[in-house]
Structure 1
């Protein structure tokens, strides 16, 4: 149980960090197929990390419960609980961040016209 717990605790963040670093990098490949492959592998790292982040604690909780290891069952339940709390906290913080910025400055009022060279005059005379 210890290996499963610590493998999850350190393995999932490693996969997430690798995926985020790959996502943030902008490698230049001469072939579009290589670029597509790079993006596919990056997506697989992130999907694997997110899937393992849920699956491993659930599996660990089930195995610990079946083996009658109360302490490990409680650890896996606490880890799932804290993941849910952090997810809700993140959702609460970022729920309004997708809104576009409002234009706070009013449109300037035109009070005079400056003629442009080339024979064009100001509108209205």
Structure 2
């Protein structure tokens, strides 16, 4: 196993286990509107580990949880892919989320302990830093 970085994660979620085959957040199938940055129109994919937490209201996402949000312009052009990946011991103060902001071609704009992501999501720290729906 290699060290976690944006390129390793991109390869995993686009080639080895394409995220477009993942389930979506229950109740958020297809496009939906957001009031939060960075995108107005979203699609949100979750891996099976994350889905189990959502469906069974486990309260905290376990290690290996992967949430992938496609961010679209108002005319539905993909402009950003934002990712939250739970990795034990990465950043305990930030609930161990590893954040990545990708361009649609896979170029990572930001990765790791991304202050802009954390500063916004800390408002929902009691929901394991996730806005979309309650996991409790």
Give the TM-score range, shorter chain: under 0.3
Q: What is the TM-score of this pair, normalised by structure 2?
A: 0.23
Rg comparison, structure with higher value? 1
Higher relative contact order (CA 8 A, sep 6+): 1
More strand by proportion, 1 or 2?
2
Q: Higher helix share goes to which structure?
A: 1
